[in-house]
Amino acid sequence: MHIGRQEWQHLQPPPGTDDGTAALATPQRPLAALYHRLADGTPDEATLAEARDFVRAQARALAATPVDLPATPDGLLDWMEANTRSVHARYAAYLEERRQGAPRRYFTTRAHALHTLRAIAPTKLVDGAWLYGLVAHWRSPRVADLVRTYVEELGEGALDKNHVVLYRSLLARYALDPLDGLDDALYRQGAIQLALGWNAPEFLPEVAGFNLGYEQLPLHLLITAYELNELGLDPYYFQLHVTVDNADSGHARRACQAVLDLLPREDDGGAFWRRVQDGCRLANAGPGTVDAVQGFDPEAEVLRILRQKARAGQGAHSDYCRVAGRSVNDWLAAPQDMPGFLQALQDAGWIRRGQPVEASRFWTLLQGPRAEMFGVFSAYELQVLHDWIRGEAAADGVPFTDEPPAQPRRRATFRALLHSGQAGATGGAGDELLDPDLDLLQARLREAGEDGRQALLLDAMSPARHWTPAGLAATRQFWGVLTR
């Protein structure tokens, strides 16, 4: 039910028409704008109303879309088990293909994988947000499974289990932030999650249906974890979801039970179940992981990166350096000319496609002894340039910091690097983190009465704050009350 390849391409600017600055220079990014107003703080009443209208509009737009649910709620558990068996069978077939020598299905290069992680970030950075508004109703037994799921998305307050903390760490680890220049469509799914979460009591059937659809095990999760590990990239965020969303005692099973617990005991003519179906459709709105994988265009990403740098680099170069008769400053002053600049660099021999990067004079400006442009490009940007220059050879997944092997060989997986101590540690307790908000929260909790303490904890557990040290501490306290 994700937006397909054809629609994904429709969302992209026509080739040669995007100068790379439109996303930053114009306000025509309604999804990103709503997303940030819901994600970065506590929204005001006008924003909450806009979010409600947004959910209704999205549901109407998807109303005719087929939904993969049983005809009646009675079949939910069988439906979940059938989906799990299907995914496991298809994953087994994938693994057999790989054993027989098939190439990676998703990620052609290391840069391709990193680009995908960046593209899906707006969704992953609000993981679990659709359930937030139900936490205030934690005493109601009919939403107990949904509240528990939200707290588990927050890692029960553990720094190394909070899903958003893990994804933020993944972005930082591979220099994938800031998320400048992402297509507005990539914010659709995250905006839906946030809009539901901040208005959850009003959209209770849709929230339950969204949770039902979103928490089922998808094939892309297993393949993503496998291929990230194969490329030496940290797969833990995705592996964690494979285990947490299991069909026995995990979120997939609990999502089914939550719907069954919430079904009206009085005959409502099936209205609640129809709204659950609407919510399940919403769980698949907007470009997803597979769409992000298919949307990677190496040269388009190189051009985006160069346009981004042009704004900072314009005027910083000496006029003696000329390419195709124009100074570098002149090229950089016209972001729309970046395709021509890139071609001119190749024509002049500054970039030699399909050869080792050391053969390109442009690369030696970025990396190596006395690199004059060292530090201009982030690690992610260097990987994109590295793999684009190398072309088909970049399928070996070599990091830009490593020399390609003399003979083809199997790369060390992330797990192997972790066991050898080369991958670095992830996680930690979080209690020792400095945070003025944590000190303030603890002081206010000491002074507040019972109702005041609950309000403080719930506020700190919002999508805007739960991943901070204060939010993690609040989640631990809330979890302690919930499990007493």
Per-residue pLDDT tens for 391-435? Answer: 999 999 999 998 776 655 555 665 555 555 555 544 444 456 778
Answer whether 408's CB lies under 8 Å from 396's CB. Answer: yes
pLDDT of residue 405: 64
CA angle 453, 458, 460 (to 5 degrees): 95
- pLDDT at residue number 416: 57
481 falls in which pLDDT band (50, 70, 90)?
Answer: confident
Q: CA-CA distances (angstroms) from residue 274 to 200, 201, 258, 293?
A: 17, 17, 16, 32
Comparing C-alpha atoms, which of 160, 126, 156, 149 is closest to residue 236? 160
Cα separation, 324 vs 331, whole angstroms: 10
Q: Are strands 322-323 and 326-327 parallel, antiparallel or unpaired?
A: antiparallel
Place of tokens 């060989």: 409
pLDDT score at 410: 59
Identify the band that residue 370 occupies on the pLDDT scale cut at 50, 70 and 90: confident
pTM, rounded to two decimals:
0.89
β-strand partners of 322: 327
Q: Which pLDDT does position 249 carry in this prediction? A: 64
- Tell me the per-residue pLDDT of 83-99, one tens digit each, with 9 for 90 and over: 999 999 999 999 999 99
User: Is the model more confident about 311 or about 299?
Assistant: 299
Q: What is the dihedral of CA 411, 415, 416, 422, to 10 degrees?
A: 100
> Given the structure tokens 């972790």, which residue do they identify?
418
Helix, strand, coil abundance in the chain, percent, nearest 5: 60, 0, 35
According to DSSP, the residues that pair with 323 across neighbouring strands are: 326
Q: Is the pLDDT of residue 180 over 60?
A: yes
Percent over 70 (pLDDT), the chain: 86
Nearest to 51 by CA among 191, 164, 255: 191
Instruction: Tell me which H or E stretch contains 322.
Output: strand 322-323
Distances, alpha carbon 145 to alpha carbons 148, 200, 300, in Å? 5, 15, 44
Would you place residue 330 in the very low, low, confident or very high pLDDT band (cuts 50, 70, 90)? confident
Q: What is the pLDDT, as a whole number, of residue 484? A: 75
User: Does residue 210 contact residue 283 with C-beta atoms inside 8 Å?
Assistant: yes
How crowded is the C-beta side of 63, counted as CA atoms within 13 Å?
8
Q: Which residues of 437-455 are buried (b: 16+ CB within 10 A; e: fewer)?
A: ebeebeeebeeeeeeebbe
Confidence check: pLDDT of 375 > 90: no
Overall average pLDDT of the 202-216 stretch: 97
Rounded mean pLDDT of the chain?
A: 88
Which contacts (CB < 8 Å, 24+ apart) does range 224-228 have? Answer: 224/106, 224/116, 224/289, 226/94, 226/95, 227/104, 227/105, 227/106, 227/107, 227/113, 228/107, 228/113, 228/414
pLDDT at residue 309 greater than cutoff 90: no
At how many degrees (to 10) do helices 469-482 and 436-447 cross? 40
Q: What is the pLDDT of residue 105?
A: 98
Answer yes or no: are the C-beta atoms of 252 and 202 closer than 8 Å: no
* pLDDT digits 0-9 by tens, 215-266: 999 999 999 999 999 999 999 999 999 887 676 668 999 999 999 999 999 9
Non-local CB neighbours of 333 within 8 Å, separated by 6+ positions = 310, 314, 315
Which residue ranges make up each domain of the chain?
A: 5-21+28-294, 298-411, 436-482
pLDDT computed for residue 133 by the predictor: 98
The answer, yes or no, to whether residue 443 has pLDDT greater than 80, is: yes
Task: Reply yes or no on whether the pLDDT at 319 is more than 90.
Answer: no
What confidence tier does 459 reach under pLDDT thresholds 50, 70, 90?
very high
Residue keyed to tokens 């079904």: 263
The dihedral through the CA atoms of 12, 16, 17, 23 has a sign that is positive
pLDDT tops 60 at residue 27: no
Share of the chain above pLDDT 90, in %: 75
What's the pLDDT score for residue 450? 87
What is the separation, in whole angstroms, between the first and last Cα of the chain? 40
pLDDT for residue 372: 82
Q: What is the pLDDT of residue 374?
A: 83
Q: How confident is the model at residue 247, as a pLDDT?
A: 66
In this prediction, residues 203-208 reach a mean pLDDT of: 98
Query: pLDDT value at position 406?
Result: 60
What does the block give as tokens for 426? 């992830």
pLDDT for residue 172 is more than 50: yes
3-state secondary structure of 120: coil
**pLDDT of the residue at 335:** 83
| Separation of CA 93 from chain center | 26
Residue 9 has pLDDT above 50, yes or no: no
Q: Are 213 and 280 in contact (CB under 8 A)?
A: yes
